[in-house]
Homo-oligomer: A and B are copies of this chain.
Amino acid sequence: MCTAATYKTKDFYFGRTLDYEFSYGDEVTITPRNYPFHFRHIGTMTKHYAMIGMAYVADDFPLYYEAVNEAGLGMAGLNFVGNADYKGRESDKDNVAQFEFIPWILGQCASVKEARVLLEKINLINTPFSQELPLAQLHWIIADRNEALTVESVMEGIKIYDNPVGVLTNNPPFNEQMFQLNNYMNLSPQAPQNHFSDKLPLHAYSRGMGALGLPGDLSSQSRFVRAAFVKMNSVSGDSESESVSQFFHILGAVDQPRGCCDVGDGKFEITIYTSCCNTDKGVYYYTTYDNHQITAVNMYKENLDDSYLVRYPLIHGEQIKMQN
Contact = CB atoms under 8 A, between A and B. Distances in A.
User: Is the contact region of chain A dominated by helix, strand, or loop, or is it mixed?
Assistant: loop
Contacts of A165: 200
Interface stretch (A105-113, A130-138, A143-151, A285-293): A285-293
Interface in A221-261: 221-223, 225-226, 228-230, 232-236, 241-242, 244-246, 248-250, 252-253, 255-261
Copies of this chain, count: 4
A236 B258 contact: yes
Interface stretch (A38-46, A118-126, A208-216): A208-216
Interface residues of A, number: 109
A248 B290 CA distance: 10
29 contacts: A1-B206, A28-B323, A164-B200, A179-B205, A182-B209, A183-B212, A185-B195, A185-B204, A197-B229, A205-B220, A207-B218, A207-B261, A214-B215, A215-B215, A216-B216, A216-B217, A216-B253, A229-B260, A233-B259, A233-B260, A234-B260, A235-B258, A235-B268, A245-B289, A248-B292, A292-B293, A294-B320, A295-B323, A297-B322
